[in-house]
Amino acid sequence: MNAVTGEITVLDDGALTSVTEVTASYAYAAPDMVTLIDCMGGYNTVSGLTTGISLIDDVFPKYREVPAIALAPKFGEDPAVALVLTAKIKSINGAFRAGVAVVDLPADNASVIPRYSDAPSYKQHNGLTSEDMIVCWPKAVVGDRVVRLSTLAAARMAATDAENRGFPFVSPSNKSLPITGCVANGEEVRLDHQKITFLDKNGIVTVTNFTNGWKLWGNHTACYPDNMDPKDYFIPARRMMAWYGNYLITTCWEKVDYPLTRRLVQTMVNSEQYHLNSLTSGEIIHGGRIELLESENNIVDMMGGSVRFHCWLGIIPPAQHIDFVLEYDPTYLATLFNAV
């Protein structure tokens, strides 16, 4: 029996070949019954069950993989869900930090965002301004289907990472999407370069059909333009900082509870500096270094077994503005006199 469709198939050599009527019961998924509250979820102190967004905490213990991108298609359009999702990824398992939460602005209600120019005010009014959040608008069209852009943006980021040795240092912006158009409030949306630039400058990721087919467009997290720190507002910078922090935790965890000696400190510094050098030579970062600073490690903390290393990363920014200076040079007219 197909547990999804409920279809029963009678096998030629089965016991049902001579039966004309069959009664069966089974459990099946009913996505339409999932509510906003179900999506947000939480930890039930009575039953001990974890549900909804809080299940992110189960990913690493079960799969030994740190979540890098979080999204809640459909429900992520609600500001409450978007904020809960973003808050959760800041502290996963009390140790890790996902790179970004990808959410959508509503694109089905003309009374909420009637025009593209109204999207930034809705984003600002609802507090969708975190450096850990990517806000998308409008919806995308894939053949006969309408798809939320957050889903495609998350997939595009994962694909871009895979194309670049698994490192999130390349922006998903200006990368191809398998779509045929975009819609908002049930109508086709035509976004020219001025409109997509307006959305990008307000921290909203969108789509463009400017050259060579449809592409994702926008380098900025939701904190832009209020937060002008490039490590926060550039999508690849925000994701690289999160990735590197998680890397340090997972690789250095085996050193926890070792004797705090000069040999331990030197081993950790040398090993990580070698790693940073390899990232630099691979043009994943511009450069990096790690040091143990006396000013950041007081005697009391060290007596308690705590040590702090300071790491610097030279994040590579996207070349999002490329200008050309055009100048007429009349001296090339002299080539006329050398014509054969």
pLDDT at position 10: 78
Q: Tell me, letter by letter, the H, E, C secondary structure of 306-318.
A: CCCCEEEEECCCC
pLDDT at position 32: 84
The first and second tokens of residue 336, run together, are 């006329």
Confidence of residue 331 (pLDDT cuts 50, 70, 90): very high
Mean pLDDT across 168-180: 97
> Rounded distance, CA 273 to CA 288, Å?
8
Confidence of residue 3 (pLDDT cuts 50, 70, 90): low
Confidence of residue 24 (pLDDT cuts 50, 70, 90): confident
Share of the chain above pLDDT 70, in %: 97
Confidence of residue 339 (pLDDT cuts 50, 70, 90): low
> Rounded distance, CA 253 to CA 64, Å?
13
Question: Is the model more confident about 5 or about 246?
Answer: 246
User: Are 149 and 76 contacting, i.e. CB atoms less than 8 angstroms apart?
Assistant: no
pLDDT at position 340: 61
> What DSSP assignment string belongs to 258-306?
S---HHHHHHHHHHHHHHHHHHHHTTSSSEEEEE--GGG--HHHHHTT-
Confidence of residue 240 (pLDDT cuts 50, 70, 90): very high
How does pLDDT run across 118-167, given as a tens digit for each residue?
999 999 999 999 999 999 999 999 989 999 999 999 999 999 999 999 99
How many Cβ atoms from other residues are within 10 Å of residue 228's Cβ?
9
pLDDT at position 79: 97
pLDDT at position 91: 94
pLDDT at position 4: 66
User: Are 168 and 239 contacting, i.e. CB atoms less than 8 angstroms apart?
Assistant: yes
Share of the chain above pLDDT 90, in %: 84
User: Are 135 and 203 contacting, i.e. CB atoms less than 8 angstroms apart?
Assistant: yes
Residue tagged 């950041």 (tokens):
296
How does pLDDT run across 62-103, given as a tens digit for each residue?
999 999 999 999 999 999 999 999 999 999 999 999 999 999
pLDDT at position 35: 92
Nearest to 179 by CA among 230, 124, 139, 126: 139
